[in-house]
Amino acid sequence: MRQVLHRGRVGEFGLETVTLPNGLEVTLEILRHPGAAAVLPLHDDGTVTLIHQYRHAGGGMIYEIPAGKLDPGESPEVCAGRELEEEAGLHAGKLLPLIALKTTPAFTDEVIHIYLATHLEAVEAAPEADEVIQVLRIPLSEALAWIRSGRITDGKTVVALLMAPQAAAEAGATVA
């Protein structure tokens, strides 16, 4: 049984009464989410593009890869390409799927589909009105060092960056 408490832009929050595998019946707070896509842009010279975006719930500006919620009926690949253009001002000639990641399965069903973008071309960025974004391009090795130093803490970004060297090698791309 589900009792919807709030419907919003991000998803639908509610209480769900479920029977656990051990037979215990409990009520859980669950956010039902339409899914999302994210993309790590890898340039021919081995650098990556990240965005520095304001995230109120995250405590301010954070480093991350372009990402966004799936529109109704939109495929994850189309969403990834759209977000790459809107947020980073880049068009991907090729999008390679990396992983479909369950973001926080303790309280949401959100799955974020992460891609590696190659064969990049500059286009005009078009961030949404509520997006405060700075775009930066750095060597992949530096981005990996930012994870170790705690400068990058966003989960989807950490996963994408850690997967990038092997994915790039499999795709025949260069990494710096």
The whole-number average pLDDT for the span 15-30 is 97
* Active-site option among 83, 121, 131, 142: 131
CATH superfamily of 34-171: Nucleoside Triphosphate Pyrophosphohydrolase (3.90.79.10)
On average, the pLDDT of the chain sits at 94
CB 62 within 8 Å of CB 153: yes
3-state secondary structure of 69: strand
> What is the distance between the alpha carbons of residues 160 and 40, in angstroms, rounded to a whole number?
6
Can you tell me which residue has the tokens 């999008």?
95
Per-residue pLDDT, averaged over 10-34, amounts to 96
Locate the domains of the chain by residue range. Answer: 1-32, 34-171
According to DSSP, the β-strands at 111-122 and 25-32 are unpaired
Q: Is the pLDDT confidence value at 121 over 80?
A: yes
User: pTM of whole model > 0.85?
Assistant: yes
What average pLDDT does range 131-147 have in this prediction?
A: 96
Select from 36, 28, 8 the least CA-distant residue to 103.
36
Contact 40, 114 (CB under 8 A): yes
Lowest mean pLDDT among 46-55, 126-135, 165-174: 165-174
- Residue 77 falls in the annotated catalytic set: no
Token pair recorded at residue 98: 């990396």
What percent of the chain is modeled with pLDDT above 90? 88
Strand 2-7 vs strand 90-102: parallel, antiparallel, or unpaired?
Answer: unpaired
pLDDT digits (tens, 9 = 90+) for 150-168: 999 999 999 999 999 988 8
Q: What is the mean pLDDT of residues 3-25?
A: 95
